[in-house]
Amino acid sequence: MKECRPCSASVFRRRCVALVVMLVSSGSATAADVAAGRKKAVACLACHGEAGIATLPNAPHLAGQPALYLTEQMRQFRSGKRPSEVMAVIAKSLSDQDIDDLAAWYEAIAIDAKPPR
């Protein structure tokens, strides 16, 4: 088995710069707006609840979820990569900015999890 050796400092720096560029370029052109996301979330209330705590047993809680996770899932629903009859219809009508705003709103909701004793 070949021994793994550390990268040289210049290779490490180039990889770090490439990672930062990739992360920045994958973001949206405009910042997500929590207040706008709250207004847009009215359409989500029936299943995901007013505060992002689901009211239906087969709907996930959205409160406190990372925005990165939520945006990825919504874009997959919209593209059909993640199948769901209900979410596909809803996601198709959302712009990238709508998705970013919704994700920012749900991420901003603080939750308190208490494991059983």
Domain with residue 46: its CATH number is 1.10.760.10
**Which two three-digit tokens encode residue 43?**
């359409």
With respect to residue 20, please indicate whether it lies within any of the assigned structural domains: no
With respect to residue 45, please indicate whether it lies within any of the assigned structural domains: yes
Q: What is the pLDDT along the chain (117 residues), one digit of tens a residue?
A: 544 455 555 545 555 444 444 444 444 457 999 999 999 999 999 999 999 999 999 999 999 999 999 999 999 999 999 999 999 999 999 999 999 999 999 999 999 999 999
Cα distance between the two ends of the chain = 45
**pTM to 2 decimals?**
0.73
Cβ count near 108 (within 10 Å): 16
Owning domain of residue 103: 31-108
